[in-house]
Amino acid sequence: MSERLQPGDVAPDFTLPDADGNEVSLSAHKGRKVIVYFYPAALTPGCTKQACDFTDNLSLLADAGYDVLGISPDAPEKLGKFREKENLRVTLLADPDKKALDAYGAYGEKMNYGKTYLGVIRSTIIVDEDGKVERALYNVRATGHVAKIIKDLGI
């Protein structure tokens, strides 16, 4: 389990396949602000709500200079099904090896119903134009999270 990122840290670069198998790198977004959010699994209720909220607010975020990347350990094929079923416009990236999840501190011990296990920690990292962490939010809720980000960023 890796350390959680802090504001001012350099955001670890990654190159991951999107829902169509195309490689997407964080470094390709240099000069733009990027909201990188980590979620446990495509096609589940909470993750669907969160992805739909980001999609619904994508134009607002883009107009304010933010790109949005959603990362989960799902395979690209599952992300494609998720995108089609929910009409998502957010860029979804596959991290089955959990390298980006680890680098961002978004994979580790979780507790559910009194049991401890390893899993994806729902997290959102906001990266500035220079590739540095502006905000690092861990253990966020799926519902209402996007509205809170928009409010906190003053968009």
Query: What amino acid positions are annotated as catalytic residues?
Result: 47
The continuous run of DSSP H or E covering 61 comes out as helix 58-63
Beta bridge partner(s), residue 118: 109
Query: Tokens representing 78?
Result: 């599952």
Question: Is 91 within 8 Å of 69 (Cβ atoms)?
Answer: yes
Beta bridge partner(s), residue 71: 38, 93
CA distance 40 to 28: 24
- Closest listed residue to residue 99, CA positions, set 12, 8, 9, 6: 12
- Helix, strand, or coil (residue 18): strand
